[in-house]
């Protein structure tokens, strides 16, 4: 993924910058990049757990996103009660 390495467990905020499908932004916990699916340049398939407002996983999803539009969240911003291995600040 061109936006930098994403580690399993990282919290991501997905909105229209990641893909037009996110007209309603969501928060996900990253599982892995799906590398066996073909994509367009600048896009990637990822697998992640969608989180509710309480930080609980409500769905396991495969998502088509632009890595350049991903935003990392630290636990205080996500307010989900989990601790991330490292907070990230978008470039």
Per-residue pLDDT of the chain in tens (91 residues, 90 and over written 9): 334 688 999 999 999 999 999 999 999 999 999 999 888 899 999 999 999 999 999 999 999 999 999 999 965 444 444 444 444 444 4
Q: How far apart are CA 5 and CA 19, in angstroms?
A: 19
Q: Which pLDDT score is estimated for 84?
A: 45
- Entry pTM: 0.74
Q: Which pLDDT score is estimated for 75?
A: 54
Alpha-carbon distances of 36 from 17, 33, 44, 59, rounded to whole Å: 24, 9, 10, 22
Q: Residue ranges of the domains in the chain? A: 11-78
């Amino acid at each position: 993924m061109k936006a930098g390495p994403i580690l399993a467990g990282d919290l991501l905020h997905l909105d229209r910058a990641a893909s037009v499908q996110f007209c309603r932004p969501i928060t996900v916990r990253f599982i892995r990049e799906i590398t066996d699916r073909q994509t367009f340049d600048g896009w990637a398939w990822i697998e992640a757990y969608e989180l509710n407002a309480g930080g609980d996983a409500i769905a396991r999803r495969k998502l088509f996103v632009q890595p350049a539009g991903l935003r990392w969240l630290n636990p205080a911003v996500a307010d989900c009660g989990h601790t991330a291995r490292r907070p990230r600040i978008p470039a």
